[in-house]
Amino acid sequence: MLGAPQNNMVIEPCAEIVNELDILHRRTRETADILRQLEQEQESFALQYHDCTKINAHLSHIQSQEKTPQNREMETNLRRRKQLGEQQLTEKYLMKDSLQVSGLLQRRMDLAEKHKGTIDRLNILQQRILDEELINWKREQQMAGNGKPFNGNKLDTIQEWCEALAEIIWLNRHQIKECERHQTKIPITPHGGVDMLPTLNSHITRLLSSLVTSTFIIEKQPPQVMKTNTRFSATVRLLVGGKLNVNMTPPQVRVSIISEAQANALLKNDQMSKGEMSGEILNNTGTMEYHQSSRQLSVSFRNMQLRKIKRAEKKGTESVMDEKFSLLFQSQFSVGGGELVFQVWTLSLPVVVIVHGNQEPHAWATVSWDNAFAEQGRIPFTVPDKVPWPQVADMLDAKFKSATGRGLTEDNLRFLAGKAFRLDRSPQLQDFTNMMLSWSQFCKEPLSERNFTFWEWFFAVMKVTKEHLRQPWNDGSIMGFVGRRPAEEMLKNSKSGTFLLRFSDSELGGVTIAWMYEDTSKAGDQRDVFMLQPFTSKSFAIRPLADVIADLKYLLYLYPNIPKEQVFGKYYTPIGEHPTNNGYVKPHLITHVPGWPGRGSTESYPNTPQPMYPMHDSSLGDPPSVSSNPSDCVSTDQKPSLDSPLFDAANVLSDFPMPPYNDTDYPDILENLPDPDFTNFSLDFLHTNFMKQQ
């Protein structure tokens, strides 16, 4: 039921605008009819005035002749005709006295008043379309950069309104100019009155100028994080170009990049100094084309490339990723057969220029903060230093939903608030509604006991979810935003083999598996929660998450109590048994945690050689986390990950036949074993001792 009022709210303004346009069209037709009547009356006036002029000329001639009875009679008749003609002209077309106007002059004044009323209504409607509807569209376009929904087709509707405005303005302007022409032919004005036509002409020309310059817009924005020497695109459109026949002489558009200070100066002076720019862009000129099917006049720049950039001096903690630029699109064209010449320009959304991929996270922080919190009519490109947490939460939710397909829950957002505000305990009990988050807390200050910021952590989580975990995240299979201690508390009362997936607090873009294990081979309470050291994007590129979970046989139930095959089975990778196109059999990697499924156990997967290194002694106590990397069975302080050179080396070898040690193709491996602590173990050793060169 909530949808119905919202639809009405969308339709109502459109209906109001369409209705007002209909009224203005009707008024324009009415004034056109009045103008035609005036033209006819003026022609009649001109004829009668011409007759009076002839009578005056004839009378003057008779008066200069000899005063004969015949001439006297003729003079009397001419005087009577002159008086009657002048009286008719005065009563029908001119003034009776100083207080009353009638006839032609009255109709001229009535028409001017009607034009004034039309212009006033045009002004109000144009402000609504340009300052509300078009500005709202631009704001929605900016918010789309943060992942908010965006209806790009709304621009077509706005173009229809603007084209209707352009037509009405142009017709009324033409009518006013016709009135001025008529007045020039017969220059009659009321005594003490003011000629309204020059003011009306000036006002309606300003309306036309404002409409044209405001509807030169960027339909497709350039990328807001722009890497040098990388191709990018953008599209510019003139909404009223087709209606004003600008396409008859297609205008050229030129693109340049300017700094924040230059953008500020441009808005103040409405012009740029010639040659002033902050970088060099290749393929930066294009000609606008009219597309008949869509009635759009636009130009698409498909192969632009930023070659060089000039940066301003940095102050304090500023970095190059804090600096904002903008692309300036400029053009010039004429309408009305060269009668009016327009110089138009428009600025893109703020752009952050980077030269290396590792600058991308901070650059996106700058862009995301600007998109979310920029205020209408601001000085380029100022943003508040602190904003209420609910606004930040809305921005994070929109970005995460856009990137991954599913947004953040209230619990997720409370967890993020606790991390952003550096609260170590119970963020779920905290009310963040009135708390202000600063730009420094967002992306400048490192998190507690970490060497990365809140935004870097969030960006890395969003990236790994988008690239490797999108489907299970959308299924709700990944809890993700939960701390280590709350995860342990959740699993403590679960049955053995229950696990959950959470984003690592210590590893950027890391995902860890926490699970409950109960050792039934020992007496007493042998239940404990273990954390597998985090998997990263590199890990998932080798072995997807679902397959990792399938490999770890002691993971049985996704928290709270869902069989893992029911959740992840549909994502398991089928094992191919046929040779590849090159004739080789592809090896099959399996994730294996040495010493598990039980602590101290030597149970492994079928056909997996027993490890040639000492197992962890259970009498020494359980490690705080468990690794899937064989080399980490000796030292629990090392960081294990699937991207390690030793990733499940034992299982890699299981796919190759093990020749006898006396084979002449293989050296005596016992003489080439690494040190017992395996610190020098590497794939080079495996290649040297176990694999023939193919």
Distances in Å between the alpha carbon of 330 and those of 28, 236, 286?
Answer: 33, 10, 11
The whole-number pLDDT of residue 683 equals 40
Is residue 664, in this structure, part of any structural domain at all? no
**Predicted model pTM:** 0.78
In contact, 52 and 86? CB cutoff 8 Å: yes
Say which CATH number the domain at 275 has: 2.60.40.630
Is residue 505, in this structure, part of any structural domain at all? yes
Judgement on whether residues 239 and 322 belong to the same structural domain of the protein = yes
Judgement on whether residues 325 and 473 belong to the same structural domain of the protein = no
Poorest-confidence range of 182-191, 432-441, 529-538, 572-581?
572-581
Judgement on whether residues 579 and 520 belong to the same structural domain of the protein = yes
Q: Rounded CA gap, 302 and 294, in Å?
A: 20
pLDDT digits (tens, 9 = 90+) for 76-134: 887 777 777 777 666 665 554 444 445 677 888 889 999 999 999 999 999 999 999 99
Say which CATH number the domain at 410 has: 1.10.238.10
Is residue 668, in this structure, part of any structural domain at all? no
What is the number of domains present in the chain? Answer: 4
**Among 165, 272, 178, 274, residue whose Cα is nearest residue 214:** 165
Mean pLDDT of the chain: 81
Judgement on whether residues 164 and 44 belong to the same structural domain of the protein = yes
Is residue 143, in this structure, part of any structural domain at all? yes
pLDDT digits (tens, 9 = 90+) for 386-406: 999 999 999 999 999 999 999
Tell me the β-bridge partners of 347.
328
Is residue 504, in this structure, part of any structural domain at all? yes
Judgement on whether residues 270 and 226 belong to the same structural domain of the protein = yes
Distances in Å between the alpha carbon of 607 and those of 543, 576, 579, 610, 650?
Answer: 20, 17, 20, 9, 10
Q: Rounded CA gap, 124 and 158, in Å?
A: 16
In contact, 327 and 257? CB cutoff 8 Å: yes
Tell me the β-bridge partners of 235.
220, 300
Say which CATH number the domain at 535 has: 3.30.505.10
Q: Tell me which of 459, 486, 505 is where a domain ends.
A: 459
Is residue 4, in this structure, part of any structural domain at all? no
Q: Rounded CA gap, 416 and 422, in Å?
A: 10
Judgement on whether residues 627 and 481 belong to the same structural domain of the protein = yes
Radius of gyration of the chain (CA): 40
**Token pair for residue 680?**
């020098």
Is 60 exceeded by the pLDDT of residue 16? yes
Judgement on whether residues 140 and 236 belong to the same structural domain of the protein = no
| Bigger pLDDT: 68 vs 650 | 68
Is residue 681, in this structure, part of any structural domain at all? no
Q: Tell me which of 459, 482, 500 is where a domain ends.
A: 459
pLDDT digits (tens, 9 = 90+) for 127-181: 999 999 999 999 999 999 999 999 888 999 999 999 999 999 999 999 999 998 8
The contacts of residue 94 (CB under 8 Å, 6+ apart) are 102, 103, 104, 105, 188
Q: Rounded CA gap, 491 and 529, in Å?
A: 7
Is 90 exceeded by the pLDDT of residue 549? yes
- What is the arithmetic mean of pLDDT over 273-280? 78
The contacts of residue 117 (CB under 8 Å, 6+ apart) are 27
Element (H, E) at 490: helix 484-492
Is 90 exceeded by the pLDDT of residue 468? yes
**Token pair for residue 592?**
């294996």
The whole-number pLDDT of residue 690 equals 38
The whole-number pLDDT of residue 586 equals 74
**Among 551, 552, 558, 603, residue whose Cα is nearest residue 575:** 551
Say which CATH number the domain at 63 has: 1.20.1050.20
Judgement on whether residues 451 and 501 belong to the same structural domain of the protein = no
Is residue 240, in this structure, part of any structural domain at all? yes
Is 70 exceeded by the pLDDT of residue 668? no
Judgement on whether residues 152 and 288 belong to the same structural domain of the protein = no
Judgement on whether residues 195 and 113 belong to the same structural domain of the protein = yes
Judgement on whether residues 154 and 14 belong to the same structural domain of the protein = yes
Judgement on whether residues 132 and 169 belong to the same structural domain of the protein = yes
- What is the arithmetic mean of pLDDT over 482-501? 91
Tell me the β-bridge partners of 23.
none
Q: Tell me which of 356, 374, 396 is where a domain ends.
A: 356
Domain that holds residue 536: 469-655
The whole-number pLDDT of residue 580 equals 65
